[in-house]
Amino acid sequence: MRTRRHFLATAAALPALAQKPNPLDRLAVLSWSFRDAFANTRAKNGWVPDTDLDIMDYPAMIADRYDIHNVEIQTMYLKQDATFIKDLRGRLDAVKSKLVSIAAEPPTAVNEALGGDDEAARANAVAVNKTWIDFCANIGCPILMINQGNLHENLAPLTESAKKLVEYGNTKKVTITAEPRGTSGRQPDRLIQVMKESGMKATPDMGNFADDVREKGLRDMLPFAAGTCHTRYNPTRFDLAKLMQITKDVGYKGLYTIEAGFSGDPYVQVQLVLDNIVKHL
């Protein structure tokens, strides 16, 4: 028999049930996952869609197809003009989505110059990245991930460049991050050293660490994460379940950004990564 006490207890539990977190709220999708869907980044022999993807349609596509409302976009898909910013922000707002991070991808020479000895080239690299900090501020994006290229033997120039970008970012309420890549994927401790000395934060990337330092590198870098962690599914190289457990062990509360593989249909590849992340959240 259902008593009044049972009814009241059940009714009291309903709000808690209704507020159960949606695991998809912990996910974002990186535009580079769809590089072959975009005409300007399609590989020579890459997958060809029926219709090219337009960056203006990207937020709605991610929201409609995957029910994810956080996106990260690389700068090769963006234009630094007021009309473009207004239009893209409108597209984001229309589907209640957020641009949670922008990845700066200037020419390789600019990336390498951030940590190089040539003062003029380094100053130019800092200036280029500052324009993307301005873009972030204007569109309401809280994070700019720089591309620091390969680490030089002397870390002082990169540390100084990062410090300048962090200081400028602070004036615009934009957090500066870097991910392990190239030499810093093999030596994440050196990139962490730059973070400690410059105030720069991290965008850990599970797939970018060298195999022999992946677990330790991820564990050591996560405390510096600004709010996103690039997450891949590559069972031939690493155990995603184990890496996801590391994020839990260190108390990571940020987003897991889907970075899918580049062979075949990217729409299917993104769903594959999504399913495997949710399985281990």
Split into its structural domains, the chain has a count of 1
**Which residues contact residue 236 at a Cβ distance below 8 angstroms, ignoring those fewer than 6 apart?**
none
Residue 57 sits in a domain of what CATH number? 3.20.20.150
| Nearest-angstrom CA–CA distance, 198 and 175 | 12
User: Has residue 10 been placed in a domain?
Assistant: no
User: Has residue 133 been placed in a domain?
Assistant: yes
Residue pair 188/220 in contact (Cβ under 8 Å)? The answer is yes
User: Has residue 6 been placed in a domain?
Assistant: no
User: Has residue 132 been placed in a domain?
Assistant: yes
pLDDT, one tens digit per residue, over 75-111 is 999 999 999 999 999 999 999 999 999 999 999 999 9
Average pLDDT over residues 24-48: 96
Of 238, 241, 236, 232, nearest in space to 260 by CA:
232
pTM of the model: 0.92
Characterize 119-135 residue by residue with b for buried, 16 or more Cβ atoms within 10 angstroms of its Cβ, and e for exposed.
eeebebbbebbbebbbb
User: Has residue 3 been placed in a domain?
Assistant: no
User: Has residue 99 been placed in a domain?
Assistant: yes
* Residues in the chain, overall count: 281
Task: Please say if the pLDDT value at position 18 is more than 90.
Answer: no
Residue 117 belongs to what domain range?
21-279
Tally of CB atoms within 10 A around 95: 14
Angle between helix 188-198 and 214-221 (nearest 10): 10
Q: How confident is the model at residue 4 (pLDDT cuts 50, 70, 90)?
A: very low
**Which residues contact residue 6 at a Cβ distance below 8 angstroms, ignoring those fewer than 6 apart?**
none
Percent of the chain with pLDDT over 70: 94
- Cα torsion 155, 162, 230, 99 to 10°: value is -170
User: Has residue 80 been placed in a domain?
Assistant: yes
User: Has residue 86 been placed in a domain?
Assistant: yes
